[in-house]
Amino acid sequence: MRWTRERRIGRMVILGILLSAGCTRTDTVEVIKLGHGLDTNHPVHYAMVFMQERLDSLSGGTLQLQIYPSQQLGTERQLLELLQLGSLGMTKVASAVLEGFAPEYTVLSLPYLFRNEAHRYDVLGGEVGRKILLSSEQYWLRGLTYYDAGSRSFYTKDRPIYSPSDLEGLKIRTLESATQVKMVNSLGGSATPIAWGELYTALQQGVVDGAENNPPSFYTSRHYEVCKYYSLDEHTGLPDVLLVSTIIWDRLNPEQQVWVQQAADESAEYQKKLWKAATDEALHKVQEAGVEIIYPDKAPFAERVRHLYDEYRDMPAIFTLIEQIRATVPCDSPADCSIEHIPAE
């Protein structure tokens, strides 16, 4: 195990040397390198390009962003490790992947946490969201903003999912997240973490029977070519997180830090608009390609995972965040506080 870890660290150091540094200076221009795993047609990539343009404008060309998409520099976990070394400046990862780096992110992986889209926006854009973003600073990862990733739902190859019982016996790809694994297993499936870039082949070869993700990712990944059933149970609302290495952040002067944060915030607002359009288009396109879209009753799914919340009652830091998220949008009626939306006390 130790030899494997040392070998992995060695690979990361070598890649870091090849990258030179996450932030390089050429005379009066500084360049921050940003790596991510998404396709260049993904709304989040477009948002990063927008941020690139805004940062160039705000800084008068003195601070620039260089983007490396499509896992050119590694998987999400590898990119995070490069940030910790200061060999890469910025990255975007799914919030669930950050659980292994900063435990506060765990709360965002809990199923049926948000009542609706507006509730999710209020939480992530408010004090709780900011607290979670900055919780990873002690691990050399500073959260800048969230990108909307909608709601995640199940898609499968051979049979539709109408209820949790339909997941029984199916191997479902999940993120590298302990919470996601527990959720899928609680619903009756067999959770199988696989890197995003390897998933298409894994679906083709039967390594897994299905996966779960949002509509734009289902479409742009072309997983709909293999999976012909998409069940919109919308179990989680995991955001993507844009992070900067604290090693790189601390090298910037206060004015540069303001530029970076402003460009990131503006790109997040821009991305929300792109996301809505991309979601509608994705659902339309996959239907045209022969995918059956299913709208199951969410209550049985939520009931099966309610017990996951009890595991955090003895973890004050996490359970306090749960309570704060519940309180962000007060329940207006008993129906609003139903198990479908917010797990009971």
Structural domain boundaries in the chain: 2-148+239-282, 152-237+286-337
Give the pLDDT band (50/70/90) at residue 8. low
What does the pLDDT look like over 168-218, one tens digit per residue? 999 999 988 999 999 999 999 999 999 888 999 999 999 999 999 999 999
d(CA 173, CA 199): 8
Q: Give the residue among 9, 7, 62, 68 at the shortest CA–CA distance from 36.
A: 68
Q: If we measure between CA atoms, which residue out of 290, 330, 309, 47 comes closest to residue 34?
A: 47
CATH topology (fold) of 152-237+286-337: D-Maltodextrin-Binding Protein; domain 2 (3.40.190)
| Domain 152-237+286-337 in the same topology as domain 2-148+239-282 | yes
Cβ burial of 118 (10 Å; 0-12, 13-18, 19+) is exposed
Report the range of poorest mean pLDDT among 174-183, 265-274, 291-300: 174-183
In this prediction, residue 67 has a pLDDT band, given cuts at 50, 70 and 90, of very high
- Output the pLDDT for position 11: 52
pLDDT confidence of residue 23 = 82
| Confidence at 339, pLDDT banded by 50, 70, 90 | very low
∠ CA 179-185-186, nearest 5°, is: 85
> How many Å apart are CA 75 and CA 137, to the nearest integer?
21
State mean pLDDT over 288-309.
97
> What percentage of residues in the chain have a pLDDT greater than 90?
82
pLDDT of 276 over the 50 cut: yes
Q: How many residues does this entry show for the chain?
A: 345
The predicted structure's pLDDT at residue 189: 98
Residue 238 has pLDDT above 60, yes or no: yes
Q: Is the pLDDT of residue 9 over 90?
A: no
**Considering just the CA atoms, what is the radius of gyration of the chain in Å?**
20
pLDDT of residue 197: 86
Separation of alpha carbons 301 and 161, rounded Å: 11
Of 339 and 307, the one with more pLDDT? 307
The pLDDT value recorded for residue 15 is 53
Residue 296 has pLDDT above 50, yes or no: yes
Residue 330 has pLDDT above 70, yes or no: no
Q: Which residue has the higher pLDDT, 245 or 6?
A: 245
Of the options 3.40.190.170, 3.20.20.100, 3.30.70.260, 1.20.58.710, the CATH number for the domain spanning 2-148+239-282? 3.40.190.170
Location of structure tokens 């009931």:
303
Tell me the per-residue pLDDT of 119-141, one tens digit each, with 9 for 90 and over: 999 999 999 999 999 999 999 99
Query: What's residue 329's pLDDT?
Result: 63
CA dihedral of residues 182, 184, 189, 191 (deg, nearest 10): -70
SS3 23: strand
Q: What are phi and psi of 107, to 5 degrees?
A: -60, -30
User: From CA 127, how far away is CA 36, in angstroms rounded?
Assistant: 26
User: What is the residue-averaged pLDDT of the chain?
Assistant: 90
Pick the residue with more confidence: 6 or 70? Answer: 70
Going from the C-alpha of 302 to that of each of 22, 117, 232, 235, 342, the distances in angstroms are: 42, 17, 13, 8, 9
- What is the pLDDT confidence band of residue 69, given thresholds at 50, 70 and 90? very high
pLDDT of residue 20: 57
Residue 39 has a pLDDT of 87
3-state secondary structure of 153: strand
Averaged pLDDT, 6-24? 56
Residue 172: closest CA among 196, 195, 156, 149: 156
Measured CA angle at 178 (ends 171, 14), to 5 deg: 100
**In terms of Cα–Cα distance, which of 330, 342, 322 is closest to 105?**
322
Q: Give pTM, 2 decimals.
A: 0.84
Quick one: pLDDT band at residue 340, thresholds 50, 70, 90? Answer: very low
- Residue 225 carries which side chain, given as an amino acid letter? E
How does DSSP assign 30-64, residue by residue? EEEEEE--S-TTSHHHHHHHHHHHHHHHHTTTSEE
Tens-digit pLDDT profile for residues 139-176: 999 999 999 999 999 999 999 999 999 999 999 999 88
